[in-house]
Structure 1
Amino acid sequence: MKKTLLILGIAIGMFSCDDISELNVDPKNPSEVGAEVLFTYGQYNLVKQFVNIDYNHNVDRMWSNFLTQTTYIQEASYNSTNRDIGGSHWDNIYTESLYELNDAKEVVASEEVSDALLPEKKNKLAQIRIMEVFAYQYLVDNFGSVPYTDALDVNNVVPTYDTGDYIYGAILDSLNAAIADIDVTAAGFSTSGDILYGGDMELWKKFGNSLKLKIGMRVADVASMNPGTIVSEAVAGGVFESNADNASYAFSTGQPYTNPIYDYFVVDSRASDFVVTKFFIDMLEGLSDPRIDAYLDDNIAAGYTGGIYGAEGNAYALLTHIDPALVEADYPGMIMDYAAVSFMLAEAVERGFISGTAATHYDNGVKASFESWGFTAADAAAYLASSGVAYASASGTYKEKIGRQKYIAAFNQGHEAWTEARRLNFPELLPAASDGTPNPHRLVYPTAEPLINTTNYTAASSALGGDNGDSRIFWDLN
């Protein structure tokens, strides 16, 4: 016993008081997480939020009028407070994505590297900043004014809100710096750590410029932001040129990295909560659009039959569902594609921001969409030759022609469809049949904000014209 006590005493004496704490560290669970893990996690959660269909977290496929609810119709009736959808958006983007990306940025920035590895370090920081820009644009396009300058201070639970136009200017500056820092001859995050592009910095540069193009076109009606300059610079820098450039993540067949639609429809057994709308089916059938067979299930023998948007009594068994392929566990999540870029270029030509032919870019957008959904070039050519689709003969202004095809192509990207419909005011999205509530211009803030961050919430809400769906994002001028 005395010998045991003596050995223990010697062991304890070898450590200072501070050193004893090291005995409580679990070597299998490190307290510091590497930058690559943080970057991957931030990327993944951003993609997951963007494509999520769970109406506790994301309502964009309904607010874009692609789908409507069956039993529970609050969200299809544009009520986002019932389940605090704003709070889910807020938490998922700030807590699960931006905090992780910011931590990754701090780790990379603090690393001392040799001159030879400096381009790799700059590339990693550029990748992080591009994802941050994507996340903040998503927040602004949903809410309007949001915390930005004070957003990621964990010790500040009452951050100020920055206006949407200020944030757009700030993220544009950050994006420009990120694009300028990219060295396509150097590495970035590893193939496994970068879930969008596998560390291919040429693709990251295209993604950065395509995101810049999207920012420029979002503010196309805001002359003070010089949208023409933003767009022309983005195009000169090099944007997406084919579907090979698309920003998407191939979800896994194994948990927890499965497609969120699969998680909600299959794992949570909520498929019966949704049906496709008559509004969308009528649009596709009116154009004899063959993509209807890829988008929708053929579960109704009599043909595609849509539900009335926002109405009670839409019966799941009697109405059309989304195609089962979209529900597969490993179906990829898309956050930006060549089709959308092509339609933006078409509009940019019409507005005089860039030279070229609008019809060519319009055709490229349709062709890219067809290709991505498994159709042939001949299928796309036949569709484009129809009078209701051909750019020269399709009905409406250029905004309506481009807006219609951009909307159809964005079927599985509800946020983009809803956001561009708000900006272009086309297609004109429906009021809820249940109570006549019009399609909202924005998502209301989390229910906790007026309770916790009262002063800043009140100031931001007042500046917007009230925390409601009628208030508009700064770029929504139509």
Structure 2
Amino acid sequence: MKLKNKIKTLLGVSLVLSASACESYLDVNDNPNNPQDAPISGLMTNITYETSWNVYREGSAVSNYVQYLASPNPGSSSDTMEPLNFSSLWFSLYNVMTDLYTMNEKAEAEGARHYLGAGQVLMALNLGMTVDLFGDVPFSESFNFTTVTPAYDDDKALYGNIMSLLDQGISNLQATTTSSMGNDDFIYGGDLDLWLKFAHTLKARYMIHQKGDPGYSAAEVLAAVDKGFKTNDQNAQVVFFEQRFNPWASDAIANANLNLTGWISEQFIQALDGTSYPTVDPRLKLMVGTTKEGKFVGTVNGAGRGNAPEQGARSTLVEGQYYTSRQAPLLIATFAELKFIEAEAAFATDKTRAYAAYLAGIEAHMNMLSVNSTEKSAYLTHPSVSMGAAALTIDAIFKEKYVAMFLHPETWNDARRYDYGYKNMTLPENLNPDLGGKYLRRLAYPDSEVSRNGANVPVVSLLDRVWWNQ
């Protein structure tokens, strides 16, 4: 969905309007010179744009934990799983949810049911991202302006809110409305059929997280899959434009300017270069750069550059590839992801369906990257990939989903559910000793929240698990 022609004007207006709408416990000072009202259309523009940025922000926060990226500096806190201050990420998530609360109230009052439905879907998404990172978080008291120190809601109960919001969103997107979205919607340009597919795709995502819970139903996941995305063209994404680059492109540009960001983990390189698995993945050269010698060389998480300190001696994100072109889309949810959810959900009861979905997920991702047909066919027919339904393993599903979800934050949810079981994945060097030789399971609450709302902030350790990861 390309909306570049009108994005620049709409975004400039919406950012101004949205700044005045973000009045929650995060913004306790009232400025009488700012307008206190914003139209639904302006809110929608900012919400869809900033939601895509929240996916990037979260992906950037956890990319070292799943060993997509690694720090060039030895013992870097991002690699070694130290407690970090994610106040900015927390603020960004709540800022969007505050705008959503405002927009949804307005939409309900005005009978703008399609805006309300899309808003409920995006509230579910932003709330889900927040819960998956932090566990218990404020929600029920966060947006009604009665307190600046809201109580924390139970993370499992909040998952009930997420599923309810998605169901309400689906109902409202199908209802009669007084006004509909258009170019103010940066994700789908107001296409209701695609919004409905997106909502069902998110239902499948959040239900598969609950696989270990007694209330989990594989049949319900598969029912949601059946109503979700059918092709790559239906992916939920925001396309960038001349004045505002895709942020992964900005990271690649920064690295080229010696700012040392976007270095690729050895784990990811070796998962695709024939080291950890029997075949070389043709996607590798389309996803990351080579060294000056034209080789793929990763950085060991926690160890830094080692004996190769000069620029160009390790693989990094490089500008101009699928994920790092200046106008590349920021992916929120994809058809490839949905096929791997289907494969996992069907695995226990229908290996034939699971295997077909597994292969379709690989092919969907290869098509996104424009892998040429010869290389695609060679990979898909290699015995280690095309093993047949009877020999399909859950490990193969998670491995291929790991590749297809490159840089996406959903991979950290998968890694925790999978107990970090990716082949040859090892703990980073110089691991935070407080973890006792175990992997990180959640983020620490941000410093800003501890100082502002400390009486309500739960006492947790980085080893405490969110409810679906028990």
TM range, normalised to the smaller chain?
0.7 to 0.9
% identity of equivalent residues: 23
1:249 match: secondary structure: strand
Show CA shifts across 1:35-89 (max 9, x none). Answer: 1111221221121121148xxx9422211101111137121112242xx12x122
Paired amino acid for 1:76: D
1:452 match: secondary structure: helix
Show CA shifts across 1:244-269 (max 9, x none). Answer: 11001101120xx3212234443695
Decide which of 197, 217, 220 is 1:227's aligned counterpart: 217
Whether the aligned pair in 2 keeps the contact of 1:206 and 1:240 (CA below 8 Å) is: yes
Show CA shifts across 1:197-216 (max 9, x none). Answer: 11000000000000001111
2:430 match: secondary structure: coil
Decide which of 74, 78, 81 is 1:78's aligned counterpart: 81
Whether the aligned pair in 1 keeps the contact of 2:246 and 2:326 (CA below 8 Å) is: yes
Residue pairs, 1:147-226, within 5 angstroms? 147-183=138-174, 189-223=180-214, 225-226=215-216
**1:162 Cα offset (Å):** 1.1
- Give the equivalent residue in structure 2 for 1:342: 339
Q: Runs of 5+ in structure 1 lacking a partner?
A: 1-24, 112-117, 462-466
Whether the aligned pair in 2 keeps the contact of 1:371 and 1:377 (CA below 8 Å) is: no
Q: Does 1:323 align with 2:304?
A: no
Change (3 A) 1:31 1:139: closer
**1:186 Cα offset (Å):** 7.1
- Give the equivalent residue in structure 1 for 2:398: 403
Change (3 A) 1:283 1:58: closer
Q: 1 CA distance for matches of 2:131 and 2:418?
A: 17
- Give the equivalent residue in structure 2 for 1:12: none
**1:163 Cα offset (Å):** 1.4
Change (3 A) 1:211 1:155: same
Paired amino acid for 2:270: D
Paired amino acid for 1:342: K
Change (3 A) 1:101 1:356: farther
Rg (Cα) greater in structure: 1
Decide which of 379, 383, 389 is 2:379's aligned counterpart: 383
**1:417 Cα offset (Å):** 1.5
Whether the aligned pair in 1 keeps the contact of 2:253 and 2:318 (CA below 8 Å) is: no
Whether the aligned pair in 2 keeps the contact of 1:66 and 1:277 (CA below 8 Å) is: yes
Q: 2 CA distance for matches of 1:271 and 1:392?
A: 45
Q: 1 CA distance for matches of 2:176 and 2:228?
A: 18
Change (3 A) 1:270 1:137: farther
Whether the aligned pair in 2 keeps the contact of 1:309 and 1:432 (CA below 8 Å) is: yes
Residue pairs, 1:26-425, within 5 angstroms? 31-52=36-57, 58-71=60-73, 73-81=76-84, 84-85=85-86, 87-95=87-95, 97-111=96-110, 121-183=112-174, 189-223=180-214, 225-228=215-218, 230-236=220-226, 238-254=227-243, 257-266=244-253, 269=257, 271-286=259-274, 287-301=279-293, 303-314=295-306, 315=309, 316-325=311-320, 326-352=323-349, 357-392=353-388, 398-413=393-408, 415-425=409-419
Paired amino acid for 1:41: N
Q: 2 CA distance for matches of 1:270 and 1:339?
A: 34
- Give the equivalent residue in structure 1 for 2:18: none
Change (3 A) 1:102 1:270: farther
**1:379 Cα offset (Å):** 3.1
Q: 2 CA distance for matches of 1:105 and 1:365?
A: 34
- Give the equivalent residue in structure 2 for 1:468: 461
Show CA shifts across 1:253-288 (max 9, x none). Answer: 20xx32122344436956523421111111101231
Is 166-175 or 418-427 further displaced after alignment? 418-427
**1:470 Cα offset (Å):** 0.8
Provide the alpha-carbon RMSD of the alignment. 2.6
Whether the aligned pair in 1 keeps the contact of 2:81 and 2:431 (CA below 8 Å) is: no
- Give the equivalent residue in structure 2 for 1:5: none
**1:421 Cα offset (Å):** 1.3
Q: 1 CA distance for matches of 2:351 and 2:429?
A: 43
Q: 1 CA distance for matches of 2:281 and 2:144?
A: 49
**1:393 Cα offset (Å):** 8.4
Decide which of 427, 432, 435 is 2:431's aligned counterpart: 435
**1:433 Cα offset (Å):** 0.7
Show CA shifts across 1:376-408 (max 9, x none). Answer: 44433321211221243898x732110000001
1:75 match: secondary structure: helix
Q: 2 CA distance for matches of 1:184 and 1:383?
A: 45
Paired amino acid for 2:315: T
1:76 match: secondary structure: helix
Whether the aligned pair in 1 keeps the contact of 2:123 and 2:165 (CA below 8 Å) is: no
1:197 match: secondary structure: coil
- Give the equivalent residue in structure 2 for 1:19: none
Whether the aligned pair in 2 keeps the contact of 1:262 and 1:327 (CA below 8 Å) is: yes
**1:452 Cα offset (Å):** 2.7
Is 60-69 or 426-435 further displaced after alignment? 426-435
Is 199-208 or 148-157 further displaced after alignment? 148-157
Change (3 A) 1:377 1:152: farther
Q: 1 CA distance for matches of 2:265 and 2:218?
A: 36
Q: 1 CA distance for matches of 2:82 and 2:456?
A: 23
Change (3 A) 1:212 1:435: closer
Q: Runs of 5+ in structure 2 lacking a partner?
A: 1-31
Is 126-135 or 342-351 further displaced after alignment? 342-351
Paired amino acid for 2:82: N
**1:431 Cα offset (Å):** 1.8
- Give the equivalent residue in structure 1 for 2:20: none
**1:432 Cα offset (Å):** 2.1
Show CA shifts across 1:305-330 (max 9, x none). Answer: 11111114453431111232233321
Paired amino acid for 1:336: A
1:107 match: secondary structure: helix
Change (3 A) 1:165 1:229: farther
Whether the aligned pair in 2 keeps the contact of 1:133 and 1:175 (CA below 8 Å) is: yes
Q: 2 CA distance for matches of 1:242 and 1:412?
A: 21
